[in-house]
Amino acid sequence: MNSIILFIVGACAGTLGSLLGLGGGVIIVPALNLFLGVPIHTAIGTSLIGVIATSTGAVGFFLKKGLVDLRLGLTLELTTTLGAITGALVTGSLSPDLLRLIYGLFLLYIVWSMARRPETAKIGPPQKAGGPSKGHARRGRWKNIHFGLFASFFAGILSGLLGVGGGTIKIPAMYLIMGLPLKVATATSTYMIGITALASSTIYEIRGYIDYQIAAVVTLGVLTGSLMGSRLSSRISTKALRWTFIVVLIILSVQLIIKGAAGLR
């Protein structure tokens, strides 16, 4: 397979992921499956490696800025990792067509959540995550932690099932229900998606659903794209980009739903 195309797919996913606060899986999986003919299970397994790359590439910057609530992230990871392992185990028993259909519907959900998001979080100095190392993690410091744990478990299942980061569930849960500032919620979610993807990618590895050749090139593309995205974030209008991305996602989701439904008949 052409390495240059794979690198471009990864770079697009990394750039858009860091600009729009996504893991990049929503770009990698449809691109690999619909346009490059990679089997959907392998595309998902490969995408999970890309999600780890997006997270690890960007989170160092967020941590140094004090935007990641490390203690909350780890607390929510207790249920997210369990959900991710569950999702990855379930995927093996689903047919590729059913998986395509579920993926298409999930993309429509992302379109809906992106369209009603108030503003994409940009990285800046204010709204710190309670101050790094100041104070100890205490029970009850965060609002609705039980709901957060439940939403994280659900996000983990989606991540393991579809090879995405699950930020589209975690960010609204942390921002709207748990009362975290949007920037902190986005940065904490970026930190979490790497750990979540690690948990589910091991299951995909056991089942042989990770193509190392494809994953390596896509990963390098993602890492390059994440760096580009963080540089471009101050120069590009994220609002225009978001709406362009919404249109692309609608086209991809319709294609996946049609292909999945046709195969199920």
Partner 1 sequence: MNRKKHPCPESFTANILTIGVILSSCILILGIGLPCLGITSSAAFLRIGLWVLMLVPLSGIIASLISFVRLKEVYSALIASSVLLILVAAILTGLFLTRPGP
User: By the criterion CB under 8 A, which residues form the site for partner 1?
Assistant: 3, 39, 41-42, 49, 52-53, 55-57, 59-61, 63-64, 66, 68, 70-71, 74-75, 77-78, 81-82, 85, 132-133, 136-139, 194-195, 197-199, 201-203, 205-210, 212-213, 215-217, 219-220, 223
- Quick one: 215 exposed, middle or buried, by C-beta within 10 A (0-12, 13-18, 19+)? buried
If the CB atoms of residues 19 and 72 are measured against partner 1, the closer one turns out to be 72
Classify 34 as helix, strand or coil. Answer: helix
Q: Which is nearer to partner 1, 28 or 110 (CB)?
A: 28
Rounded to the nearest whole angstrom, what is the least distance from the CB of residue 244 to partner 1 in the complex?
Answer: 28
Backbone angles phi, psi at 5, to 5 degrees: -65, -45
Q: Are 225 and 11 contacting, i.e. CB atoms less than 8 angstroms apart?
A: yes
Least Å from the CB of residue 40 to partner 1: 11
Question: Reduced to 3 states, what is the DSSP secondary structure of residue 112?
Answer: helix
Distance separating alpha carbons of residues 47 and 28, to the nearest angstrom: 6
- Closest distance of CB 137 from partner 1, Å: 4
- Comparison of 107 and 148: residue with beta carbon closer to partner 1: 148
CB-based contact 159:193 (threshold 8 Å): yes
Beta carbon of residue 80, minimum distance to partner 1 (angstroms, whole number): 9
Nearer to partner 1, 57 or 229 (CB): 57
Task: Tell the smallest beta-carbon distance from residue 200 to partner 1 (Å).
Answer: 8
Closer Cβ to partner 1, 52 or 158, answer by number:
52
Distance of CA 241 to the CA centre of its chain: 18
Closest residue by Cα to residue 199 from 83, 100, 110, 96 = 83
What tokens appear for 50 in the block? Answer: 């890309």
